[in-house]
Amino acid sequence: MSAPSRAPPPVATAPAPEAVKPDPPAPPKKAAEAKPAPPVESAPPPVIVEAPEEPVVGAPEEEAAAEAEPPEPEGGSGPPAEAPPPSRGLGGADTSAGSPPPPPPAPAPAMPPPGGGTAAEEKKDGFDIVPIYYGTDRAEAATEKRLDYGPNRGRKLILGQALVTVPKTHVQPQIERPWAIKIPYFDITLYEEDEDPDKHFTMKELKAQTREELLALVRARLAKSERFKDHAIVFVHGYNTTFDNGIYRTAQIAYDLKFDGAPFHYSWPSGGGLSSYTYDRESSGQSVPYMREFFDLVIKESGAKKVSVIAHSMGNQPALQVLREIKSSSPPGVVISQIILAAPDVDRDNFENIAKEISGLASGITLYAASNDFALNASRRFHGGVPRAGDVPTGGPLVLPGIDTIDVTAVSTDSFGLNHSGYAENNALINDLQLLIQTGERPPEKRVPLLEKVGTPAGDYWRYPAQR
């Protein structure tokens, strides 16, 4: 994310957090009291104004590479992006709705006619409301404002529904959030813009649900689905992602896809901090039994006739383990529609072994990879130079039987948070994801004619042509 010039921060030692797109700066409204944490260095770091001028989408989590050992927090070069402040619901001051959002891309022939569905459950004058059905094994966090979940492990599955506001002025594929002036490495907020649902993604409501309550809500939602009839998606976030950020990312994907099916999110207890890479790696692994329980609920009890799974970055590690268990223990006929693996931060050899075991579980498996993903490059160095499954090294991306590998280096990967450089923004991946989930059409060039097919001894893969 771009911002006024800033002095370089202290060297980070873990991958960067997923940046969430704030709005342009507004006149200061209030100053939050500062609670300094123990300083990391003797000299205080520079004040950082988080108010980018260019649209940059952060994804649930990622990492900017540094010349340090562990991956640096996601966020590209420059200081790591702060996680968004706790949601305050609709307490922000109202403003008039901005100009209407840009028109959606022209649908491909296989798409239904326009107006066949929307992710919004409810529409207001300045914003829409998108429901997200969540599962988490995070422990509840102490807060006076509302229910919240922190980085600690709860060691049990909790279910619930989040209602997220999406402003009518939303620009795809951003996540508009309030901007702030903060001092990195200290718990000091000098200024924080008020949340406004007419301008920002906000948490209108967050409520834990019993299994029966949640399933009733999901089935009612599916009964009204049109564009994505009886379809559910499950999004699993990656490294350094707070609970709120994961919910916002799921809402952004559902909204930009015009997904009127049931959007689910699984939130494992990521540390959400600058040095939490090792914690996150172990934490994601211990989440497998709870994630498996959640996947079983979605696949077997929700009433969805199609289920697609989107796993991002480190979230691929537990998600692939769960899918392997489902394949080995489920009776024939339990088939997932699409498995989408975005920038998997997984050892290549392990990935290849698991890919063989889950073969046939889904109608299709797609791997999005990139050579300019700072997070994966840093992770590779952290793991002794062993390439990650989402890398595109000199020899090319990972190509395996039964998996469509797409090299997205040439286009923006911000839609999934694969890359946080902000060097380019377009909707190529969102458009492909929409067609992939809706039609399942293969090979990829049938969905996206501009893709180039590249032959290798291991098989074919596809790539977006370099932009001029």
pLDDT digits (tens, 9 = 90+) for 264-314: 999 999 987 656 888 999 999 999 999 999 999 999 999 999 999 999 999
Please give the average per-residue pLDDT across 228-246, as a whole number: 94
Categorize the per-residue pLDDT at 336 as very low, low, confident or very high, splitting at 50, 70 and 90: very high
- Give me the pLDDT at residue 329, please: 86
pLDDT at 76 over 50: no
Most confidently modeled range among 30-34, 373-377, 403-407: 403-407
Residue tagged 């380019």 (tokens)? 424
Residue 8 has pLDDT above 80, yes or no: no
CA distance 393 to 441: 28
Mean pLDDT of 2-24: 44
Contact 135, 294 (CB under 8 A): yes
In angstroms, rounded to a whole number, what is the distance separating the alpha carbons of residues 15 and 276?
Answer: 8
430, amino acid identity: I
CA torsion sign, 158 to 292 to 120 to 250? positive
Handedness of CA 13, 271, 245, 352 (dihedral sign): positive
Q: Which of 45-59, 111-125, 151-165 shows the highest mean pLDDT? A: 151-165
pLDDT of residue 16 exceeding 60, the answer is no
pTM of the predicted model as reported, rounded to 2 decimal places: 0.74
Contact 356, 349 (CB under 8 A): no
Of 46-50, 168-172, 395-399, 416-420, the poorest mean pLDDT is in: 46-50
> Does pLDDT of 98 surpass 60?
no
The answer to whether residues 97 and 124 touch, using CB atoms and an 8 Å cutoff, is no
CA-based R_g, the chain, Å: 21
pLDDT, residue 373, reads: 78
Q: Average pLDDT in the 123-151 region?
A: 93
Segment 171-179 mean pLDDT: 91
* Distance in angstroms (rounded) separating the CA atoms of residues 343 and 390: 4
Percent of the chain with pLDDT over 90: 54
Tens of pLDDT, residue by residue over 153-172, are: 999 999 999 999 999 999 98
Tell me which residue has tokens 């649209």: 55
Res 120: pLDDT: 76
The more confidently predicted of residues 459 and 94 is 459
285 or 109, which is more confident: 285
Task: Please give the single-letter amino acid code of residue 238.
Answer: G
Are 149 and 155 within 8 A, CB to CB?
no
pLDDT of residue 272: 74
Contact 326, 299 (CB under 8 A): yes
The pLDDT of residue 205 is above 90 = yes
pLDDT at 186: 64
Asked whether the predicted pLDDT for residue 60 surpasses 90, the reply is: no
